[in-house]
Amino acid sequence: MNSDLQMAPPPGTRVVVVGGCGGIGSVLIRACVALGHRVAALDLPRSIGVNPPPDGVLSIELDATRAAEVTSALAEADHRLGGIDILVNLVGFVNRRARIEELSDDEWNATIRGNLDSLTTICRRAIPIMQRSDAAAIVNVSSGTGVRPLAGGAAYAVAKAGVIALTKSVALECAPKIRANAVAPGIVQTAFLTGGTHNADSGAPMPDLEAYKKTVPMQRLAEPIDIVGPILFLASPAAGFINGQTLHVNGGALMP
């Protein structure tokens, strides 16, 4: 097959997945292993403990809100893999629902730090490494709420809108050496619904899933594999002329 028609990165591609032990990240990593990629999973120590990556995958502990740890973790991945071709950012968490004026400064800042600032730091540290690659691509995972906020979720919506703007900025400034695109899922059936893989008892509200399904033309929730396919496509040679775009994956619930 002509490499330009490959719908996923070719075997041997060096892939770093930040948030690789979460619901989407773990499915993505298994898909990358099956495709013959060389993979590093970066995540919080407790997430790695709850859902460790499979054998053969490089596991690196990382708190992405700490810039020094980001620098160290990416340097280790670069050294162990011999470079980074694909970076997938799945960092983030949900917090309690509350009106914007009811959120404390600490709640607001933590949400922005965990969902936007951390991802920005990762991209900024990874770009110099990825510029050595012959086929580099970044895929940032945002959310449909970055385009259509939900009441009570202002901080998360602002952060995810920022991820889309960050992605466009990286795409503009780093082309043609590095492409950058975003995937914006709707609700996905993972532990993220209640706070995250390591934080299922966080007190984050459980959405009314049956009501949500009624707004989805496909009449179901997304599964992690529904998000993994678009991520791999955007990282692939087949998407080689796609740059700075946001792909919404929500079964038709949101059509911006």
Q: What is the pLDDT of residues 128-153, one digit of tens each?
A: 999 999 999 999 999 999 999 999 99
- Is 187 part of a structural domain of the chain? yes
User: In a 3-state reduction of DSSP, which class is residue 200?
Assistant: coil
pTM equals 0.93
User: The domain containing residue 231 runs over which residues?
Assistant: 3-249
Residues 28/228, Cβ–Cβ less than 8 Å: yes
- Is 60 part of a structural domain of the chain? yes
Q: How far apart are CA 135 and CA 9, in angstroms?
A: 9
- Is 254 part of a structural domain of the chain? no
- List Cβ neighbours of 131 (8 Å cut-off, separation of 6 or more): 174, 177, 178
How many domains, in total, are found in the chain? 1
- Is 77 part of a structural domain of the chain? yes
Chain center to CA of 191: 15
Domain holding 151: CATH number? 3.40.50.720
pLDDT 10s digits, 4-63: 578 999 999 999 999 999 999 999 999 999 999 999 999 999 999 999 999 999 999 999
Q: How far apart are CA 156 and CA 154, in angstroms?
A: 6
- Is 66 part of a structural domain of the chain? yes
Q: How far apart are CA 30 and CA 89, in angstroms?
A: 16
